Amino acid sequence: MPACNLSLQIVPLVEEEQVYPLVDKVIEMIKSSGVKYQVGPMETTMEGELEYLLEIVKQAQQLCSDNGADRILSVVKIDYSSRGVTIDEKVGKYQG
Amino acid sequence: MPACNLSLQIVPLVEEEQVYPLVDKVIEMIKSSGVKYQVGPMETTMEGELEYLLEIVKQAQQLCSDNGADRILSVVKIDYSSRGVTIDEKVGKYQG
Amino acid sequence: MPACNLSLQIVPLVEEEQVYPLVDKVIEMIKSSGVKYQVGPMETTMEGELEYLLEIVKQAQQLCSDNGADRILSVVKIDYSSRGVTIDEKVGKYQG
Amino acid sequence: MPACNLSLQIVPLVEEEQVYPLVDKVIEMIKSSGVKYQVGPMETTMEGELEYLLEIVKQAQQLCSDNGADRILSVVKIDYSSRGVTIDEKVGKYQG
């Protein structure tokens, strides 16, 4: 399976001061998953096999739920091609 | 597992006149999956178990790829709660 | 200027039981703006001139802020064409 | 007016090899606008006054239309607070 790009913005409905710490936990989980990833101001983009990245999305919901979020709103963007898509081809020249 | 809401907007990079027919194929696939769904002008929202809905998202990418889209951009929104989320609780009063 | 489609999902960071009432206020404001609109489970889609619809997006942020939301996360999707885009051409056959 | 964060993903429906060059034109326009911005793999995030950032979103549609895109799909995410929101508070520690 070719690699694709998937970005995740997760908004747990918790007290505002708890939002960043909870998002940090999600990023820590993404880091521990071993996929290539890049943290941005509105979303974290991952590169890998689609099925595995969707599994991470699922786990992120559970993680927020387990940490006190009664409700979680997420936005997931997928960039998919049968030839594969990489983070580098898109931002390499901008992030020199 | 509680039901959640997941909406999918899929944009296959094909000739403009082929976009709607391809999106129709995706909606047909969603229909045949048996989940509750509602077609909107910018996305189709489904109600069901998160893992199953993410599997549909994966299949939608493959379906577009198999039908000639070299590249597919998707936006997926998830509304998740450990108590469950329904389409009706959100739009029932607006859609009479 | 041709009509375009713009959808708005707004997530005010407030107590969960206050989310729907606040979103209802936003929908009421959209209704009073006079544009054609359709409420969906994850977003409300409007049809009209882009500049006017973006003004509504701006007012929606202010409305939530004025009603006690310390923080507001929104997702706006735009479907734009120099020939115009209508809600009907996209969902007419599904909502017939 | 406080600064907010706004991210823009723009998908012009053009031949696949023309997508990146057209997105580059949009990023060039953002750069020339003078706002603080950060290019990511799936979207470019800007920091500034909401009204000005929405004006840039509008110009981006026009720019793609003027450059041959018959149709343009965009995803805009807004992070708004009456106290202001900065890119640094969100990614500073990750991009050290």
SS (H, E, C) chain D: CCCEEEEEEEEECCCHHHHHHHHHHHHHHHHHHCCEEEECCCCEEEEECHHHHHHHHHHHHHHHHHCCCCCEEEEEEEEECCCCCCHHHHHHHHHC
User: Residue A64's pLDDT is what?
Assistant: 97
User: Residue D96's pLDDT is what?
Assistant: 58
C-alpha distances in Å from residue A23, one per residue of A26, C42, D91: 5, 22, 11
Question: Is D21 contained in some domain?
Answer: yes
Q: Which residues contact A72 (CB under 8 A, 6 or more apart)?
A: A10, A11, A12, A13, A61, A64, A65, B78, B79, B80, B81
Question: Searching chain B, which residue's CA lies closest to the CA of residue A51?
Answer: B58
Question: Is D46 contained in some domain?
Answer: yes
Question: Searching chain D, which residue's CA lies closest to the CA of residue A45?
Answer: D41
Q: Which residues of C touch D54 (CB under 8 A)?
A: 54, 57-58
Interface chains of chain A (3 or more CB pairs under 8 Å) = B, C, D
Q: Which residues of B touch C39 (CB under 8 A)?
A: 91, 94-95
Give the pLDDT confidence of B18-28 residue by residue, as tens digits.
999 999 999 99
Range of the domain at B20: 11-91
User: Residue B1's pLDDT is what?
Assistant: 75
* C33 vs C1, residue with greater confidence: C33
Alpha helices (H) in C1-96, listed in sequence order: 16-33, 50-66, 87-95
Contact B72, B61 (CB under 8 A): yes
CB contact under 8 A, D19 and B13: yes
- Residue B49: exposed, middle, or buried by beta-carbon count in 10 A (0-12, 13-18, 19+)? middle
pTM as predicted: 0.96
Question: Is A40 contained in some domain?
Answer: yes
Give the pLDDT confidence of D51-81 residue by residue, as tens digits.
999 999 999 999 999 999 999 999 999 999 9
Q: Which residues contact A35 (CB under 8 A, 6 or more apart)?
A: A46, A47, A48, A52, A53, A56
Contact D3, D84 (CB under 8 A): yes
Question: Is A86 contained in some domain?
Answer: no
- Check CB contact of A75 with chain C, cutoff 8 Å: yes
Give the pLDDT confidence of D30-58 residue by residue, as tens digits.
999 999 999 999 999 999 999 999 999 99
Tell me, what CATH number does A63's domain have?
A: 3.30.70.930
CB contact under 8 A, C19 and A13: yes
C-alpha distances in Å from residue D62, one per residue of B55, D6, D24: 36, 18, 14
For D14, phi then psi, to 5°, come to -130, 175
Question: Is B5 contained in some domain?
Answer: no
The single-letter code of the amino acid at C95 is Q
User: Residue A29's pLDDT is what?
Assistant: 98
Rounded to whole angstroms, the Cα distance separating D26 from A80 reads: 22
Domain count, chain A: 1
Q: Which residues of A touch B75 (CB under 8 A)?
A: 75-77
Rounded to whole angstroms, the Cα distance separating D85 from D62 reads: 27
User: Residue D38's pLDDT is what?
Assistant: 97
Give the pLDDT confidence of B49-68 residue by residue, as tens digits.
999 999 999 999 999 999 99
Please list, residue by residue across B21-43, b when 16 or more beta carbons sit within 10 angstroms of its beta carbon and e when fewer do: ebbebbbeebeeeebebbbbbbb
What's the rounded mean pLDDT across residues A34-56? 97
Question: Searching chain B, which residue's CA lies closest to the CA of residue C81?
Answer: B16
Question: Is A72 contained in some domain?
Answer: yes
